[in-house]
Amino acid sequence: MSEKRTIAVAMSGGVDSSTVAAMLARLGDGNRVVGLTLQLWDQTRLAGKHGIPEAPKAGRCCSLDDVYDARRVAEHLGIPYYVVNQEERFEKDVVRPFVSEYLAGRTPIPCSLCNNHLKFDQLLKTARSIGADAIATGHYAVNEFDEKRGRWILKRPADLAKDQTYFLFGLTQEQLAHTLFPLGSLTKPEVREVARQKGLALAEKPDSQEICFIPGGDYKQFLTAYLEEQGEEIPDTAGELVASNGEVIGKHAGISNFTVGQRKGLNVGSPSPLYVLNIDPASHRVTVGADAELATQTLRANRLNWISIPELTEPMRVKAKIRHRHEPAWATLEPAGADEVMARFDEPQRAVTPGQSAVFYDGDEVVGGGWIV
Partner 1 sequence: MSAGTFQNGRIYMDANATTPLLPEVVEAMRPYWTEQFGNASSIHLDGQTARTAIDRARETLAEFFNCHDAEVVFNSGGTEGDNTALFGLLHPGDHLITTSIEHSAVLQAAKKLERFGVTTTFVAPQPSGLIEPMDILRAIRPETRLISVMLANNETGVVQPVAEIGKIAADTGAFFHIDAVQGAGKVKFDVRKWGAHLVSISGHKVHGPKGVGAMFVRKGTPVDALIVGGSHERRRRAGTENVPGIVGLAKAIEIAMHSVEDGTMTRLAGLRDKLEAGVLALPGTGLNGALVDGKAAPRVANTTNIWFDNLEGEGLVIALDLKGIAVSGGSACHSGATEPSHVLMAMGLNKHRAGASLRFSLLKSVTEAQVDRVLAVLPEAVQNLRALAPVSAGTLA
Q: At a CB cut-off of 8 Å and minimum separation 6, what does 53 contact?
A: 47, 215, 216
Phi/psi for 327 (5° steps) reads -80, 120
List the one residue out of 173, 210, 214, 169 whose CA is nearest residue 371.
Answer: 169
Min separation Cβ 131 and partner 1, Å: 6
CB 136 within 8 A of CB 124: no
**Could you confirm whether 212 is annotated as catalytic?**
yes
Q: Tell me, what amino acid is at 76?
A: H
61, 62, 111, 212: the catalytic one is: 212
Smaller CB separation from partner 1, 31 or 296: 31
Q: At a CB cut-off of 8 Å and minimum separation 6, what does 267 contact?
A: 250, 252
Whole-angstrom Cα distance, residue 255 to residue 10?
Answer: 37
Give 234's DSSP letter. P
Smaller CB separation from partner 1, 202 or 203: 202
CB 84 within 8 A of CB 140: no
Which string of b and e fits 212-227 if b means at least 16 CB within 10 Å?
Answer: bbbbeebbbbbbbbbb
Residues that bind partner 1 (CB under 8 A): 6, 34, 37, 39, 42, 44, 62, 64, 67, 71, 80, 82-85, 87-88, 112-113, 116-117, 120-121, 124-126, 128-131, 170-172, 174-175, 303-305, 339, 371
The size of the chain, in residues, is 373
Q: At a CB cut-off of 8 Å and minimum separation 6, what does 332 contact?
A: 315, 316, 317, 318, 343, 344, 346
Smaller CB separation from partner 1, 94 or 294: 94
Smaller CB separation from partner 1, 81 or 275: 81
Min separation Cβ 62 and partner 1, Å: 6
Min separation Cβ 323 and partner 1, Å: 17
Smaller CB separation from partner 1, 5 or 220: 5
**Could you confirm whether 61 is annotated as catalytic?**
no
Q: Which residues are catalytic?
A: 114, 212
